[in-house]
Structure 1
């Protein structure tokens, strides 16, 4: 048995890299583990040696203290790795396989999984449909910002890369398959992005940039990215997007200056519940702002994809309603314009194989789009701090030296 180290949430604003238990084929008790999952046997699982694991904005929400995550939680749901041991119930995945791990944990057996709705699997989280590694209220599956992690239902969950050498050559792109690339793509697909579309992407963080690259991949004519962060907006312009600084006025008016009309065909919310206002309100948190803006700028009959995270418990929210996930959205406006809204986690397995092929055959350069930067696992606290300050980077942790950072 090997040792193991992982990134631990210690409390608001604090993470620490420390020794953690090496994975076993059984779910143990610990911070955030649902009592009904304690002792759950995982003969269908695989132990994965982590090649790359990324810091996500969803992790940052927890680290800021904006969720009910307990101290001691092992973080990390964006995982790429090498299988080092397969459980006795695993038939097809084998030791040595280089794999992408979808952030959604799913069983492959339930009604929702069979309908390709792996983001709301019914069997992996006793609290509610859907689960993820290292995340609050998701059943307690240990996170993957670590040297080793257990992946349940390995034959079902793992995407095996077809050629190891070719995959390692593209590993900084392929590590985005576990979450942000499919998530951004899902936001665009659910919003109806297609050839010739005009698209507004709210947010120039990694998910927003991934959504912008996805919109281009899907054939959009114009992709407009809105944010407050000048460095992140410059990153979006670097691969052909138009941008608006939402502190400079009403987004519809800024869009009109670009398109000659204040409306786009579709919009993607890549911000979520920690949104800020626009124009003179840009310095203040306004959790419904992005949703209301999306309804304002999307044409009648258009659609809005909402992969940005919204929660049912936010202890740091600006008002009591928002602390329970109740937001003052202009639903009447959306109804009047016959908008379609698509919310929730991305079902990663619906898209990841096709996006893998797009990466391997040079149809997209997602690591460049999100400005992926590899750092050692031991520098995780620095990565979280810089990301929280608005760095225009996607931090990729290198727990075992595969990426050459150590």
Structure 2
């Protein structure tokens, strides 16, 4: 049996690179695997040699101990790899294909998948609609921050790159297709960004930067990014965004007025989620801050894209209500301003092909926007620690040393 290694969550604040089982076309029992998923045969799946796999802010929530993730969970839902084995029911994906894996696991057969709502597939997670690799309460599908991984429903899900050599030249861009580029783009589309729009993006982490770049691609006239981290704001400015340092200013509308001449924007995107902090020099965790602030500064009849993660279980929350995802949101304000809210996981397959074409033909430079930084598998624990401290980087793990 071939060997395999992966990044494993060991408990709050701790990840390790460990020997893990080599994947086969069956979902075996293990940490976080729903009992009803144990033994699922995946002859419709493939085994990938992982070429790149990225560290995501959603992973960081688990590593901080802010979810109910069990120790022993193999992490990683942003996966790009080479097909080395195909199941007997796979017809169109071939051995040797270089493919992007949507982080949503989707069967392609249920009503939601047929309606392009692959983020809430009905057949892959016995707990609730929707699933992902290496993530808490998502059915237990093994994560891809590893050397090898199994991917089910290959013909439906996988995006094969048309030319492997061309793809490897742009792999630091293409690796973002599994999650953060479509996620940022979905946030911008959900917010109604169009040519001439003024846009506020809450959060300058990788998803926020991807949302800002996506807003630019969609024709926004001004993209304003707010964050508490000066280094991340500098990264946003590097590709033409206006920025607001929220650790120095607690009146967001006033700062937007300094930039635009009016204290509101056409569209807003929440790329922070449930670990949000308040604004100002003495800021502390206040999980409804972003949602309430973007309602305040978005024009009447505007739209709010909310790709930032919100959870139903947060053992480290600031109060008992927040521990079950109940936040003090000013829904009356949103109602009065006739806002449209779009939440939930991103349906990656709705966007990944067009974004791939934008990358391959030089229209999108997402790796530059998010400061893609290649590391080895063994460097992953340090990268998690640096990311937790606010590093203005998107860490891309190269398990086999294949990336130039």
TM-score range, shorter chain: over 0.9
Residue 347 of structure 1 pairs with residue 347 of structure 2: yes
Query: Using the alignment, how far apart are the partners of 1:381 and 1:25 within structure 2?
Result: 28
For 2:259, the equivalent position in structure 1 comes to: 258
- Give 1:194-233 correspondences, 5 Å limit: 194-233=194-233
Moved >3 Å (runs of 4+)? none
Task: Give 2:269's aligned residue.
Answer: 268
Give the equivalent residue in structure 1 for 2:299.
299
Question: What does residue 166 of structure 1 align with?
Answer: 166
* Residue of structure 2 equivalent to 1:19: 19
CA distance in 2, matches of 1:402, 1:192: 38
1:69-118 CA distances to partner (integer Å, 9 max, x unpaired)?
A: 00000000000000000000100001000000000000000000000000
Which residue does the alignment assign to 1:362?
A: 362
Structure 1 residue 400, shift from structure 2 partner = 1.1
Moved more, 248-257 or 77-86: 248-257
Paired position in structure 2 for 1:387:
387
**Where do 5+ consecutive residues of structure 1 fail to align?**
none
Q: Secondary structure at the match of 1:174?
A: helix
Secondary structure, aligned partner of 2:300: strand
Offset from partner CA, 1:276-322 (integer Å, 9 cap, x none): 0012452x000000000110000000000000000000000000000
Are residue 278 (structure 1) and residue 269 (structure 2) matched? no
- The residue number in structure 2 matching 1:134 is 134
**What secondary structure is seen at the aligned counterpart in 1 of 2:247?**
helix
* Alpha-carbon distance in 2 for matches of 1:315, 1:299: 35
TM-score by length of 1: 0.99
- Partner residue, 1:34: 34
Larger deviation, residues 272-281 vs 180-189: 272-281
Query: Within 2, Cα distance between the matches of 1:11 and 1:279?
Result: 32
**Pair 1:309 & 2:309 matched:** yes
Aligned counterpart, 2:75: 75
Shift of 1:248: 2.2
Tell me which residue corresponds to 1:89.
89
Does residue 319 in structure 1 map to residue 302 in structure 2? no
Matched position secondary structure for 2:321: helix
SS of 2:295's partner is helix
Query: Quick check: 1:60 aligned with 2:60?
Result: yes
RMSD of the alignment, in Å?
A: 0.6
Task: Verify: 1:49 aligned to 2:77, yes or no.
Answer: no
> Hey, what does 1:375 align to over in structure 2?
375
Distance 1:181 1:281 in 2: 32
1:2 Cα deviation after fit = 1.7
Once residues 182 and 227 of structure 2 are traced to their aligned partners in structure 1, the CA distance between those partners, rounded to angstroms, is: 21
Instruction: Provide the rounded CA distance (Å) in 1 between the counterparts of 2:145 and 2:293.
Output: 34
TM-score under structure 2 normalisation? 0.99
DSSP 3-state at the match of 1:274: coil
**Which residue number corresponds to residue 242 of structure 1?**
242
Distance in 1 (CA, whole Å) between partners of 2:100 and 2:252 is 37
Match of 2:332 in 1: 332
| Matching residue of 1:98 | 98
1:226 aligned counterpart, secondary structure: strand
TM-fit CA distance, 1:403: 1.5
Q: Which residue of 1 aligns with 2:147?
A: 147
Instruction: Give the C-alpha shift of residue 385 in structure 1.
Output: 0.3
1:169 deviation in Å? 0.3
> Matched residues in 2 for 1:224 and 1:402: separation?
36
What is the CA–CA distance in structure 1 between the aligned matches of 2:263 and 2:137, rounded to whole Å? 40
- Corresponding pairs, count: 403
**Matches of 2:172 and 2:247 in 1, distance apart?**
33
Secondary structure, counterpart of 2:22 in structure 1: coil
Q: Write the distance in 1 (CA, Å) between the matches of 2:132 and 2:79.
A: 11
